[in-house]
A = this chain, B = another copy of it.
Amino acid sequence: MKKYAILGFGVVGGGLAEVMADQAQKLAAAAGEPLELGYILVRHDYPDSPFRAKFVRDFSVIENDPEVAVVAEVIGGSDAAYDYSRRVLLAGKSLVSSNKQLVAEHGAELAALAREHRVSYLFEGSVGGGIPLLRPLCRCLAANRIDQVCGIVNGTTNYILTAMDTQGQDFDTALKTAQQLGYAEADPTADVEGIDACRKTAILADLSFGWNVDPDAIPTTGITKVAPADLELARALGYTVKLLGRAARTPDGCCAFVEPHLVPLGHILASVNGVMNACAIQGSAVGEVVFCGPGAGAHPTASAVAADIADAVRHTGNPMVPDLGAPGGALSPADELVSPWFIRADAAPDAVLAAFPQARPVYGTSGECGFITGPMTRRELAAPFAAAGGRAVWRVLA
């Protein structure tokens, strides 16, 4: 029997306590022994909670209880969560987390601490919520040189883009609906500006290429500039629009970026709609594999964190710490990555064809046209884009 503790009793923390109780038997089988909830660190009262007997407000109670073998940090952010996480590891306890900000910003340091103290540090829930993603990437694909990861890793923006595509809504209307449904926060900046996707992309890059990537160095464009006309023209061309976080191996190391992409309608990622997430991974032996599922939510994320708790216990004395890489050089510039591009332009066909002789422009209800360019870098695109009366440009997933 091993005791575990939960730090935080928000959406994920509450879901985690429920899932651990609901599937206690299966989790005990996975862990190799029964798991007992020791404490839940809370900041507020929840007098009606069935878990209230386990509430503590003083972290040091958990820190100093030698029976607590694993601690799940589901507070979020990088203030208290960072301090507690370090102290968990320094106390010789395994740490599991769904906190993408903390993993992206301080994961390598925490991983080193975990190795030093011979405990596990697992964070499956930090990317893709409930989708098994990081363990498959690190363990099941261990026989592959990873060449690229490409994911829809933020459910809020995918919900908004899906609503814009299928219901013809503009960004503001779709955002408002997402907020009403609880899919977007009152301040949606971190989601719609791509900051959340950027953190998850950093974690995927860390695990794939052995470089510990600074999330602040990842060029990030959110979805606030995606216009209804982009979606209308994209669909007429056989594409939909998705916010993709991508990281790819390059001759100099790796590049990583987050930006809206046109995705061909036949591609699996184009079928990933609403708040669903997905990640495509290219490996040298396996080719391409894609993982899809719910990228957020109390129980899906708790599903990932609970499995990490069981795995940490299963590996007592034989700890699991994914390799988040060492500090590397500068990222290769994403603008040098050759790809086709979608251009929305306010121009007559002859002006478009003068700038892009291969273009097959389609015209939408607004009078603007859209077309797909041949493969080129963003730099090569600049002059003909201006000459063709370009209004918007998005990368195409080839």
Judging by beta carbons under 8 Å apart, are A303 and B290 in contact? no
Interface size on A, as a range, is 35 or more
Judging by beta carbons under 8 Å apart, are B131 and A135 in contact? no
**Stretch touching chain B among A36-44, A292-300, A375-383:** A292-300
Given A268-B292, A271-B270; A287-B130 close (CB under 8 Å): yes
A315 in the interface, Cβ–Cβ < 8 Å?
A: yes
Judging by beta carbons under 8 Å apart, are B26 and A285 in contact? no
Nearest CB on B from A182, distance (A): 16
**Stretch touching chain B among A77-85, A142-150, A324-332:** A142-150
A284 in the interface, Cβ–Cβ < 8 Å?
A: yes
Judging by beta carbons under 8 Å apart, are A286 and B311 in contact? no
Number of identical monomers bound together in the oligomeric complex: 2
A251-273 contact mask (Cβ, 8 Å, vs B): 1 or 0 = 00000000000000011101111
Judging by beta carbons under 8 Å apart, are A285 and B268 in contact? no
A292-327 contact mask (Cβ, 8 Å, vs B): 1 or 0 = 111001011011101100110011011000010000
Further contacts, 5 of them, CB under 8 A, given A22-B285, A130-B285, A142-B306? A22-B284, A132-B136, A143-B306, A289-B292, A289-B293
| A-B residue pairs in contact (CB < 8 Å), sample of 17 | A22-B285, A23-B143, A139-B307, A140-B304, A142-B306, A142-B307, A144-B303, A267-B271, A268-B271, A268-B292, A285-B302, A286-B293, A286-B303, A286-B304, A288-B293, A290-B293, A291-B292
Which residues of chain B have C-beta atoms less than 8 A from A292's C-beta?
268, 289-292
Judging by beta carbons under 8 Å apart, are A26 and B143 in contact? yes
For the complex of A and B, 6 pairs with smallest distance between CB atoms: A132-B140, A289-B293, A143-B306, A132-B136, A30-B142, A285-B303
8 Å CB interface, A169-192 against B: none
A19 in the interface, Cβ–Cβ < 8 Å?
A: yes
A229-256 contact mask (Cβ, 8 Å, vs B): 1 or 0 = 0000000000000000000000000000
Judging by beta carbons under 8 Å apart, are A135 and B139 in contact? yes
Judging by beta carbons under 8 Å apart, are B291 and A286 in contact? no
Judging by beta carbons under 8 Å apart, are A285 and B306 in contact? yes
A141 in the interface, Cβ–Cβ < 8 Å?
A: yes
What separation, in Å, do the CA atoms of A353 and B147 have in the docked complex?
55
Nearest CB on B from A275, distance (A): 10
Other-chain residue from B139, B272, B283 in contact with A30 (beta carbon distance below 8 A): B139
A124 in the interface, Cβ–Cβ < 8 Å?
A: yes
What separation, in Å, do the CA atoms of A267 and B291 have in the docked complex?
14
A398 in the interface, Cβ–Cβ < 8 Å?
A: no
Judging by beta carbons under 8 Å apart, are B26 and A145 in contact? yes
A29 in the interface, Cβ–Cβ < 8 Å?
A: yes
Judging by beta carbons under 8 Å apart, are B293 and A143 in contact? no
What separation, in Å, do the CA atoms of A284 and B303 have in the docked complex?
9
